[in-house]
């Protein structure tokens, strides 16, 4: 039997240690989704109305180049969050998102969540701190990718 | 090597039996001794000094199976004149070898523990002997994770052996900085794999090899998972020349990397690794 969204939030690292009332509020904006390998979940410049908490499988963040086709910038897996364009105007995806393999995730309605965060600033702050950590981790990962981290060992 | 340390500067000639291409600039060489009795015993993590006549000598980690008594294997990336000459050595040609030298991975400390092996680029080469040791004694170890990062898929080492490693219950995860068409694995730095592995952090042991910047961030990520710093071991490379602690080129704080290392507990050298220009 499929677990309800609140129970799934408890298992996802992004929501770790979040209070039960907040989880209950957030769960009201979520639904279970499943994507097949190769399926495009989000397309650059399309309205960004949602984000995903991955439960299983791998997604890729891509940029389409007319000359080179899809360029994978990063992959994300179970335990990760995908998408933050829903948080900031103009609420449009900056990159493509594709399921590399079959993916199970929780999809959250961005407008629903923004409304709840506005009405409950304490919950909004809790939520933003969690996203800020994701921003920090992604920025750090991107910086390391830019370094050619493995390139200078002679052995 | 029982290049006896009474004659640690004496280079012994060896024959190149095979020279296998790993990538555009990286080769794996199988070396054999004319007299098999001269074949030295060695332990995972140790290195030898490889000498190309007329070109010079460099330290290279041993990357083969420590149980094999017929050959000694090194994986070398061509980054300078000597390493390029080694990579170009033809089967049948002779090069020189001294060693083995240095400390070994503390594989005995890993028994009954989870093990995390983290390699960046050619750093997988000094960890491959550990994999052979684990596979030969698999029941002695608990969960084993191998995390490998590379700039692009084409330069990942030993791709043909990885299915065999997985068959021994090793969780092998690969990631690249830049994917090429057809790549189905992860994209991102090797640190991003650390939160994904199954791990009993309270008593896990980790071996880490790669450039020092990479190792620093890997250490941070493992510490964030809860792995104790005194259970993190790194392999260092710092300008090793004589390999026996005489010349001082590789000195780092109180240690000579060639003689006291190259394998160190991270906590042992941590204060020195953050000092600039040392």
B211: CATH: 3.40.50.80
Q: Is B4 within a domain? A: no
**pLDDT tens per residue across span B202-233:** 999 999 999 989 999 999 999 999 999 999 99
Residue with tokens 């908490």: A53
Q: Is B262 within a domain? A: no
What residue numbers bound the domain in which A101 lies? Answer: 5-146
Q: Is A155 within a domain? A: no
Mean pLDDT of A54-64: 96
Q: Are residues B113 and B229 part of one domain?
A: yes
Q: Are residues B132 and B223 part of one domain?
A: yes
Q: Is A154 within a domain? A: no
pLDDT for A78: 96
Q: Are residues B42 and B96 part of one domain?
A: yes
User: Domain tally for chain A?
Assistant: 1
Contacts of A73 in chain B (CB under 8 A): 187
Q: Which of B101, B122, B157 is the last residue of a domain?
A: B101
Q: What are phi and psi of A15, to 5 degrees?
A: -100, 15
Q: Which of A75, A141, A148 sits opposite B191 (nearest CB)?
A: A141
CATH of residue A85's domain is 2.60.120.10
Residues paired with B94 in a beta bridge: B15
Q: Which of A100, A141, A147 sits opposite B192 (nearest CB)?
A: A141
Q: Do A144 and B189 touch (CB under 8 A)?
A: yes
Q: Is B249 within a domain? A: no
Q: Is A45 within a domain? A: yes
CB B272 within 8 A of CB B261: no
Q: Is B213 within a domain? A: yes
Q: Are residues B184 and B125 part of one domain?
A: yes
Cα separation, B115 vs B136, in Å, equals 15
Cα separation, A94 vs A105, in Å, equals 20
The rounded Cα B18 to chain-centroid distance in angstroms is 20
Mean pLDDT of A29-41: 96
Residue to substitute from B177, B185, B218, interface A, most A β-carbons within 10 A: B177
Q: Do B150 and A150 touch (CB under 8 A)?
A: yes
Q: Do B120 and A153 touch (CB under 8 A)?
A: yes
Q: Is A23 within a domain? A: yes
Q: Is B85 within a domain? A: yes
What residue numbers bound the domain in which B149 lies? Answer: 107-235
Q: Is A153 within a domain? A: no
Q: Do A155 and B126 touch (CB under 8 A)?
A: yes
Question: Within an 8 Å CB–CB cutoff, is residue A89 touching chain B?
Answer: no
Question: Within an 8 Å CB–CB cutoff, is residue A60 touching chain B?
Answer: yes
Residue with tokens 């991955």: A54
**pLDDT tens per residue across span A97-121:** 999 999 999 999 999 999 999 999 9
Q: Do A58 and B77 touch (CB under 8 A)?
A: no
pTM score, whole prediction: 0.92
CATH of residue B97's domain is 2.40.30.10
Q: Is A88 within a domain? A: yes
User: Domain tally for chain B?
Assistant: 2
Q: Is B140 within a domain? A: yes
Mean pLDDT of B106-115: 94
Residue B197, preceding bond cis, omega within 30 degrees? no
Contacts of A153 in chain B (CB under 8 A): 77, 120-123, 210-211, 237
**pLDDT tens per residue across span B15-28:** 999 999 999 999 99
Q: Is B6 within a domain? A: no
Q: Which of B101, B135, B154 is the last residue of a domain?
A: B101
pLDDT-derived band at B159 (thresholds 50, 70, 90) equals: very high
Q: Is B68 within a domain? A: yes
Residue ranges of the alpha helices (H) in chain B? 81-87, 128-136, 162-167, 212-225, 257-260, 266-273
Cα separation, B143 vs B164, in Å, equals 16
């Amino acid at each position: 039997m499929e677990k309800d969204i609140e129970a799934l939030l408890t298992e996802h690292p992004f929501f770790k240690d979040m209070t039960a009332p907040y989880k209950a509020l957030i769960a009201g904006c979520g639904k279970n989704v499943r994507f097949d390998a190769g399926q495009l979940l989000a397309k650059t410049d399309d309205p960004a109305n949602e984000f995903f908490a991955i439960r299983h499988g791998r997604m890729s963040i891509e940029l389409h180049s007319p000359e080179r086709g899809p360029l994978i910038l990063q992959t994300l897996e179970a335990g990760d969050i995908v998408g933050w364009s829903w948080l900031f105007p103009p609420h449009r995806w900056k990159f493509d998102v594709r399921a590399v393999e079959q993916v199970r995730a929780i999809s959250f309605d961005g407008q629903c969540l923004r409304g709840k965060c506005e009405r409950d600033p304490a919950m909004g702050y809790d939520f933003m701190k969690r996203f800020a950590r994701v921003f920090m981790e992604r920025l750090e990962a991107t910086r390391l990718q830019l370094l050619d981290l493995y390139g200078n060992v002679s052995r | 090597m029982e290049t006896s340390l009474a004659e640690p500067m004496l280079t012994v000639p060896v024959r190149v039996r095979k020279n296998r291409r790993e990538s555009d600039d990286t080769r794996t060489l199988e070396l054999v001794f004319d007299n098999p009795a001269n074949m030295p015993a060695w332990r995972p993590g140790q290195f030898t000094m490889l000498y190309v006549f007329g070109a010079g000598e460099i330290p290279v980690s041993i990357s083969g199976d420590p149980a094999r008594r017929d050959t000694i294997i090194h994986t070398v990336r061509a980054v300078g004149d000597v390493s390029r000459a080694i990579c170009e050595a033809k089967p049948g040609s002779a090069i020189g070898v001294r060693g083995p030298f240095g400390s070994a991975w503390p594989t005995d400390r890993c028994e009954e523990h989870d093990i995390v092996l983290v390699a960046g680029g050619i750093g997988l080469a000094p960890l491959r002997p550990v994999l052979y040791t684990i596979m030969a004694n698999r029941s002695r170890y608990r969960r084993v994770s191998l995390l490998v990062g590379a700039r692009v898929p084409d330069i990942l080492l030993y791709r043909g052996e990885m299915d065999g490693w997985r068959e021994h219950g090793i969780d092998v995860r690969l990631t690249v900085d830049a994917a090429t068409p057809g790549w189905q694995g992860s994209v991102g730095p090797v640190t991003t794999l650390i939160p994904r592995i199954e791990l009993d952090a309270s008593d896990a042991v980790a071996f880490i090899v790669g450039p020092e910047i990479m190792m620093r961030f890997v250490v941070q990520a493992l510490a964030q998972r809860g792995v104790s710093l005194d259970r993190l071991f790194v392999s260092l490379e710092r300008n090793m020349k004589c390999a026996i602690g005489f010349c001082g080129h590789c000195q780092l704080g109180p240690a000579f990397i060639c003689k006291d290392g190259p394998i160190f507990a991270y906590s042992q050298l941590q204060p020195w690794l953050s000092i600039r220009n040392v």
